[in-house]
Structure 1
Amino acid sequence: MRALEVLVVVGVLVLVGSVLARRLRLPPPLVLLALGTVVGFLPGVGGVEMPPDVVLFLFLPALLYWESLTISLRQIRADLRVISLMSIALVLITAGTVAVVAHALGLDWPMAFVLGAVLAPTDATAVSTVAGLLPRRARTILRAESLVNDGTALVVFGVAVGVAVGTLDVGPGGIAWRLVLSYAGGIAVGLALAFAVVAVRRRLHDTRLENVLSVLTPFLAYLPAELLGVSGVVAVVTCGLTLTQISTRVISARTRVQSTSFWTLTTFLLNGALFVLVGLELHAVVEGRTADELWSGVVATLWIALTVVGTRLVWGNTTPFVIRALDRRPAQRARRVGFRGRLPTQWAGFRGAVSLAAALAVPTTTADGTPLEGRDLVLLVTFGVITVLLVVQGLTLPAVIRFSRLQQDPAEEEERLLAEREMTRAGAEAIEQRATELGVPEVVVERVRESYETRMRQQHVEQVLADGRVTDPDHVAAKRRVLADAAAESQLRLALLADKREAVVRLRDEHTIDDGVLRRLTAQLDVEEVRLLGVETDE
């Protein structure tokens, strides 16, 4: 019963927090964290403790999988060097700098590195909520970094915890070997599962069964990888990226629509729930702490937060100059970005639920049964840093983006127009052949041909206006009227859909038709409405 109560409270807070965030124009993670914190101190609600395995084995695979399905592999390849440096080298550097500061604040070296590993990775959940504010290249770098860096951090975390509790004795060479093995094994598991999933999908012809496989896929990648001692994070991301390239011709349209709807809603709920749960955890984190312990935790939190942010800023403003000195190719010079352009990706280094889950996973005792010194401080500082970064960076990031003067990538819109023109042209050229194959009457063929020709004229006008080829004001106005007429037609069709929907609902209310008939007709109207409105993207 307690679990159901927590589930309902979390769901209500996600709903209320999301509405408030839009009304107040604040970052949703910040509002959800604040609501969770406030509610966590109410009688009967506090004391919620999130098992680390829930995040690491339930939330994380699902969120990483959907992120990997909706990211651009081409953009990742273009900026692979930058992404690799940020998701591997920067994680290791951050873990080291945090460990040095934590040791100076009183933690012994093993526990200082535990804290460093916990706070080294950015959070994919928090990053995804702000990525839409950025141009395509910056957005992809930020999302790709947050996808992969968990794998690096969790390897370092496992080693640091083993040393802290006295079950491991590993030097820098051992850590490097573990990283290589973890990444190579994760990639192998992810690739193997992706090809296996495609093979199974080719034999499934039921939308529900295909989507059951879709739900299982991230866990089928994550669990075997972890059991084999390699990175489950890398396995999930590799599997997702591979499937985006292979499965397009395997998955049916119905399956894709249903799957997209499921994952969009599921990841929204999981994202929101994570921040609410982090807020609810505060009660358990501070319970039983003395005033001196809390004050020491606050001081340590501020120092560690400054270290985390400072490390990322220094790294982001030194490595580009090293790359420029070593790589002077014209292609590299064309991709250079100034300080303003780099600042948003450096400032968006949020930490989140993965860091808290890792901190909660630190054992309470050593191998010989004695209490593990410093665990409470690690937990308190982790929660504090998550909160400080969400508040400070979350509130200031829009101003930082404005200061950076980043321009949206014009190639993105050009590529969309090109793809739409090519898609329409291919359909128009295939009309005669397909009509012959299907034995379609000529009058039907003519109607379809007219609709394609109308759409091709609209696309031509869009391209001409986008290219700026027409400069005469009268010609520009005439072409804009063509697009305005098309938009007006779409608006009229959308308005008529509401009348059609009301008509079939009235028939159901009058008991003239059955609910099953209503659902089928409503589904048809929904498809038409989606076609007129276009498909929403997650970016």
Structure 2
Amino acid sequence: MGAAVAPTDATAVGVVSRLLPRRNVTLLRAESLINDGTALVVYSLAVGVTVGSEHLGAAHVSGLVALSYGGGIAAGAVVAWLGIQLRRRVRVLGDTLPDNLTIILLPFSAYLVAEQVEASGVLAVVVCGLVMSQAGPSIGRAAARLQTEAFWSLGMYLLNGALFVLVGLEAQAAVRELSGTALTQALLLVAAVYGALVVVRFLFLFVSVYAIRALDRRPRQRKRRMGHRARVVSALAGFRGAVSLALALSVPYTVDSGTAFPDRDTIVFVTAGVVVATLVVQGLILPAIARWAQLPRDQETERELGLARTTAAEAALDALPAVAADLGTDTDVTERLRAEYETHLNTLRAATTSVPESGALVRRHRQDATLRLALLEHKRSAVINLRDRHRIDDGVLLQVQQQLDAEEVRLSQVTDPE
């Protein structure tokens, strides 16, 4: 049960990411992903000892931890390298479906390979994802990326929902088995375990920082320091979620001798209760605590976003004459495109300055995007009307609608940057 409730949940942290600066969210997500590997080793060892297939020992446990981390990292790196080679060959086909299929299968492949060598599948997926995030933008296609992003958003939502449904069914069965005094003890255990998690997390975050400062006195380390209020927010953001539920559900029903696994119903019930407590209690008070902490507004993301967009527009303007010459583009078309890019570039530069004229330029740009966005509805209605009057086929409607949807998403980012 301790192994099940130990790791924090990266998905739950993402829900409150807008409340916290990017640095805090990155630390919470990294903590969750790395702690999963340790928790899974402890969990598998605890279950193995209970059912009679494992034994305790310093060398044995150390070897399991080393295999979990080393094997997981190696499996993730190998699968990612193979995935890059495969995606480069699939891209030649020009079809988004094979590319998307490869992307979808990569994390599952990394997990299965790591599990075959009894390493951490979670770390394998993390390493595979990190490698692919570096190589993916240069080998992927735009259509495949849009399709993949939509799939994973829906898939992650459905998987988390299905997991909570399964836990609800298991918890219901556990409650039926825990009657009278056992149920009361389980409820008290939920409160005790939840309280222990909160207290230990606060102690660790506040005590460990002084140990780090005592050991590492470099100026670089001092720049990474956070205030006490920021640590309070990080402590309360330690939600439990999918991994804890999955571990509780995977506790076996029997041991090697055939007898029932001791206190399985209690483990499932308490884990589910702790997950609900962290999500409900901490989730409700975290927004107020984040406001109390007065964390600095994260301007680094906006600065980097402006830098990326400005650099891209400048690169396009610099390359425009040569590209137009290679393609044999007419002069009037080139000049019209140059004017559009210059206007776009001036708007990007104006967004990072406080000159009065820049504010007017940004306002006109947003008004232009808002007007175009409103006109898209008329375009969409006109095309749907053609389909309803049997003037065009459903396939034609789909192609036009995809173009209009892509334009709507682009314009929505201008009118509503958040």
TM range (shorter): over 0.9
Aligned to 1:216: 105
Alignment deviations for residues 467-506 of structure 1 (CA, whole Å, 9 cap, x no partner): xxx4xxxxx2x33221111111111111111111111111
- How far the C-alpha of 1:536 sits from its partner, in A, is 12
Query: TM-score, structure 2 length as denominator?
Result: 0.94
Cα displacement (A) at 1:459: 1.7
Any idea what SS the aligned residue of 1:463 has? Answer: coil
Taking the aligned partners of 2:252 and 2:349, their CA distance within structure 1 comes to 64
Helix, strand or coil: the match of 1:229? Answer: coil
User: Superposition pairs for residues 87-236 of structure 1, below 5 Å?
Assistant: 115-204=1-90, 205=93, 206-236=95-125
Superposition pairs for residues 24-423 of structure 1, below 5 Å?
115-204=1-90, 205=93, 206-423=95-312
SS at the partner of 1:458?
Answer: helix
Whether the aligned pair in 2 keeps the contact of 1:136 and 1:408 (CA below 8 Å) is: no
Cα distance per residue 1:302-327 (max 9 Å; x no partner): 11111111111100000111111111
Q: Which moved more, 1:162-171 or 1:443-452?
A: 162-171
Of 395, 404, 413, the residue aligned with 1:525 is: 404
Scaled by the length of structure 1, the TM-score of the pair is 0.74
Contact map agreement 1:316 1:346 (CA 8 A) in 2: yes
Q: CA deviation at 1:138?
A: 0.4
Q: Percent identity?
A: 46
Matching residue of 1:34: none
Residue 382 (structure 2) aligned to one of 479, 503, 507 = 503
Question: For residues 259 and 413 of structure 1, what CA distance do their matches in structure 2 show?
Answer: 25
Please name the residue that 1:102 is paired with: none
CA distance in structure 2 between the partners assigned to 1:360 and 1:499 by the alignment: 51
- CA distance in 2 between partners of 1:383 and 1:325 (Å): 39
Instruction: Give ranges in structure 1 of 5+ residues lacking alignment.
Output: 1-114, 471-475
Q: Distance in 1 between matches of 2:194 and 2:244?
A: 13
Contact 1:210–1:255, Cα closer than 8 Å, also in 2:
yes
Matches within 5 A, 1:10-29: none
Q: Is the 8 A contact 1:131 1:143 kept in 2?
A: no
Residue from 309, 322, 327 that aligns with 1:433: 322
- CA gap of 1:515–1:145, structure 2 versus 1, over 3 A, is same
Correspondence for 1:4: none
- Aligned letter for 2:273? G
Q: CA deviation at 1:366?
A: 2.8
1:125, distance to aligned residue in structure 2 (A)? 2.9
1:132 to partner: Cα distance: 2.9
Determine if the alignment matches structure 1 residue 449 to structure 2 residue 341. no
- Deviation by residue 1:267-297 (Cα, 9 ceiling, x = unmatched): 1222333334433433112013221110111
Q: CA–CA distance in 2 between the matches of 1:456 and 1:357? A: 49
Q: Classify 1:265/1:456 alpha carbon distance in 2 versus 1 (closer, same or farther; 3 Å).
A: same
Decide whether the 8 Å contact of 2:77 with 2:131 is kept in 1.
yes
Structure 2 vs 1, CA of residues 124 and 277 (structure 1 numbering), >3 Å: closer, same or farther? Answer: farther
Q: 2:8·2:240 contact (CA, 8 Å) conserved in 1?
A: yes
How far 1:236 sits from its partner (Å)?
A: 0.4
Q: Say which SS state the counterpart of residue 178 (structure 2) adopts.
A: coil
CA contact (8 A) 1:207 1:255 kept: yes
Q: Which amino acid aligns with 1:524?
A: Q
Shift of 1:143: 1.3
Question: C-alpha distance in 2, partners of 1:508/1:372?
Answer: 62
Match of 1:482 in 2: 361
More deviation, 186-195/123-132? 123-132
Maintained 8 Å contact 2:160/2:242: no
| Residues 377-410 of structure 1 deviation map (CA, whole Å, 9 limit, x = unaligned) | 3223222222222222121111221121112222
Backbone CA RMSD of aligned residues: 1.9
| Aligned positions, number | 414
1:43 — aligned with what?
none
Unaligned stretches of 5+ residues in structure 2: none
- C-alpha offsets along residues 73-114 of structure 1, whole Å, 9 cap, x if unaligned? xxxxxxxxxxxxxxxxxxxxxxxxxxxxxxxxxxxxxxxxxx
TM-aligned CA distance change 1:228 to 1:203, over 3 Å: same
Query: RCO (CA 8 Å, sep 6+): is it higher in 1 or 2?
Result: 1
210-219 vs 347-356, greater mean Cα deviation: 347-356
For 1:172 and 1:118, how far apart are their aligned partners in 2?
22
Secondary structure of the structure 2 residue equivalent to 1:513 = coil
Q: d(CA) in 2 for partners of 1:125 and 1:454?
A: 39
> What's the CA shift for 1:259?
1.1
Task: Tell me if structure 2 keeps the 8 A contact 1:151–1:233.
Answer: yes
SS of 2:353's partner is helix
Amino acid at match of 2:36: D
Give the aligned residue type for 1:508.
Answer: R
Q: Give the letter aligned to residue 120 of structure 1.
A: A
Q: Over residues 480-536 of structure 1, what are the superposed CA-to-partner deviations in whole Å (9 max), with x where a residue is unaligned? A: 221111111111111111111111111111111111111111122222222222399
Q: Separation in 1 of the partners of 2:348 and 2:179?
A: 68
Q: Which whole-Å CA distance do the structure 2 matches of 1:439 and 1:173 have between them?
A: 70
Cα displacement string for residues 184-236 of structure 1 (whole angstroms, at most 9, x for unaligned residues): 11111111111111101111122111111111111111011101111110000
